[in-house]
Chains A and B, each alone.
Chain A
Amino acid sequence: MRFMMLVIPPDYATAEPGTMPDPEHVAEMMKYNEALQKAGVLLALDGLHPPSAGFRVTYKDRKPTVTDGPFAEAKECLGGYWMIQVKSREEAVEWARRAPMKDGEIIEVRQVHEFEDYTPEVQQAAEGFKEMHEAAQQKK
């Protein structure tokens, strides 16, 4: 099973564009990344620019509106993630416990949906989408 370990740093919602992580903390983080890699559980990882450098697209009546960050209403926001593949939820807990996080930082861990997790109805809908897509292509 796969889990996303989502990092929520404090104050990242209001961080300036171009905000860089502290090199010392990065060095510590690299050791942790290496531990995940050596254990064979790390699938992917990334760090994200702060929301002040991003934008949000909101939808009303099916119409998208683009708003540049930062977003006043957001209190918590993502700073990065790891995706790991482990045998159990407990193993994900154990890896998250070991992350060298600073005070106030949060890791939210969420399991990645496997296709088999979906109900037969949802699976069927996903299959149907593919056929619809192909039919649309042929009409063109």
Chain B
Amino acid sequence: MSERDIHRAIDAVWRIESAKIIATVARMVREVGLAEELAQDALVAALERWPQSGIPANPGAWLTTVAKHSAIDHLRRRKLLERKHEEIGRELEAELETAASFADAMAEEDHIDDDLLRLLFVACHPVLSPEARVALTLRLLGGLTTAEIARAFLVPEPTIAQRIVRAKRTLADARVPFEVPRAEERAERLDSVLAVLYLIFNEGYAATAGSEWMRPALCEDALRLGRVLAELAPQEPEVHGLVALMEIQASRLRARTGPDGEPVLLLEQDRARWDHLLIGRGLAALRRAEPLVGDGLPGSYVLQAGIAACHAQARTAEDTNWWRIATLYGLLMQVAPSPVVEMNRAVAVGMSAGPQAGLEIVDALIAQKALEKSHSLLCVRGDLLVKLGRYAEAQAEFERSARLTQNDRERRLMLALAKTCLLAAHH
């Protein structure tokens, strides 16, 4: 193997193992930022030694052992070793002398899951800004390098590097404990974790500005993390709900753009191009979530996944069960009310009860001055007006919508719709 091949192989091992190594070391040093640096030291050692020695049979165990060694050294140096630590140190040294065999690695699996979950909760801690949570989660749990994160978010590498350094410092200064939050705090903190994963997914799903419609690599990263979380916290319905939602949305990635990269809206998509493997996975995740929902209302991810599943299960756009979707949006308005949800409810009501009923919901939103800067609401209104045969008004809405959108391709789509209205009005 050439040196370059070895480096690429090490990258792959790192992506698979880094979260577990960082989590294991964090349990020892009780500090996530420090744990990450010690794990990085192990990576550096691998980069120095493996080109000569070859990749060890169990590279994960090798890296973990080296990282644990540095952790012990570090604990000593900092003279943080009270008696308790010394005991841990002795135990660890004995363990290290026998080297991590496969059986040991298996025994370690028991608490590695808890440690990974702790790591995820800390990376998504509310003391951090949302951007910092995203960067730290991709770095610590996703195994992405700073450069990869920077590329994914289209920002300069030093910006991300600084964001990560600051985030680690904030966690240390706030003395955020390395633990899974207790019962009363848990639901809220889990929400934060789920929000971070969904933010990463959405960043990949639709770039908010510029001409690039999507960056699917981030979708894959978010899905991977979601699937990992589903195994770490299998009793949480919202975790499976989020995974279901992301799997089903990702199933449409291929169908979302036409041959020239132009966006294709959900109902116009060629359903044969949907990824039925991912749809199957999404529906399975939803089936895992449903029995876990208690007597109350389902959470917002389970509801959103339910809506996505309605679309996924319709063989043609005309077969869509809009009554069910309207009902689910109604429930979503109860658990997570927002103007965007209400706008989507208007679409579903428009499709089931008729465009006039949908338009009334949209006009109520406009009367409340909700979503004033949203091109989507104008687009929805335009669409309902088209269905009512009010083409001139519809054309004006699409044109206003085109002026508001930040996305070049969306702008072209809106202008095309406006032109269609113009032609229809003259027929």
Contacts and interface: CB of A to CB of B under 8 A. Distances in A.
A85 B220 contact: yes
A139 interface: no
Interface stretch (B12-20, B157-165, B288-296): B12-20
A43 B281 contact: yes
Interface residues of A, number: 24
B227 A94 contact: no
A90 B277 contact: no
B9 A93 contact: yes
Contacts of A87: 12, 15, 220
B259 interface: yes
B151 to A, nearest CB: 13
Interface in A79-133: 83, 85-88, 90-91, 93-95, 115, 123-124, 127, 130
Contact of A43 (B15, B226, B259, B277): B277
Given A43-B281, A90-B8, A94-B12, A130 B228 contact: no
A38 B17 CA distance: 12
B16 A38 contact: no
A32 to B, nearest CB: 12
A40 B15 contact: no
B9 A40 contact: no
B224 A85 contact: yes
A37 interface: yes
Contacts of A94: 9, 12-13, 16, 59
B73 interface: no
A87 B232 CA distance: 22
A2 to B, nearest CB: 9
Interface string B1-25: 0000000110111011000000000
A15 interface: no
B259 A39 contact: no
B367 interface: no
Interface in B347-403: none
B202 to A, nearest CB: 18
B277 A123 contact: no
Nearest to A83: B277
Contact of B272 (A41, A93, A130): A130
A38 B231 contact: yes
B9 A90 contact: yes
Contact of A93 (B12, B224, B227, B259): B12
A42 B224 CA distance: 9
B16 A91 contact: yes
A44 interface: yes
Contact of A40 (B12, B226, B270): B226
B28 interface: no
A91 B224 CA distance: 14
Nearest to B272: A130
B259 A40 contact: no
A87 B227 CA distance: 15
Contacts of A130: 270, 272
Nearest to A115: B254
Contacts of B254: 115
Contacts of B259: 123-124, 127
A72 B272 CA distance: 38
B350 to A, nearest CB: 27
Interface string A31-49: 1000001111111100000
A83 B220 CA distance: 15
Contacts of A90: 8-9, 11-12
A34 B374 CA distance: 44
Given A91-B12, A93-B12, A94-B16, A40 B224 contact: yes
Contacts of A95: 16
Interface string A1-40: 0000000000000000000000000000001000001111
B340 to A, nearest CB: 29
A101 to B, nearest CB: 14
Given A88-B8, A94-B13, A40 B272 contact: no
Contacts of B15: 86-88, 91
B225 interface: yes
Contacts of B228: 38-40
A127 B227 CA distance: 33
Contacts of A124: 259
Contacts of A115: 254, 273
B223 interface: yes
A40 B277 contact: no
Contacts of A127: 259
Contacts of A93: 9, 12
Interface in B215-261: 220, 223-228, 231-232, 254, 259
Contact of B12 (A42, A44, A88): A88
Contacts of B272: 130
Interface of B: 8-9, 11-13, 15-16, 59, 106, 113, 220, 223-228, 231-232, 254, 259, 270, 272-273, 277-278, 281
Interface of A: 31, 37-44, 83, 85-88, 90-91, 93-95, 115, 123-124, 127, 130
17 contacts: A31-B106, A38-B228, A38-B231, A40-B223, A40-B224, A40-B228, A43-B281, A85-B223, A86-B15, A90-B8, A90-B9, A91-B12, A94-B9, A94-B16, A115-B254, A124-B259, A130-B270
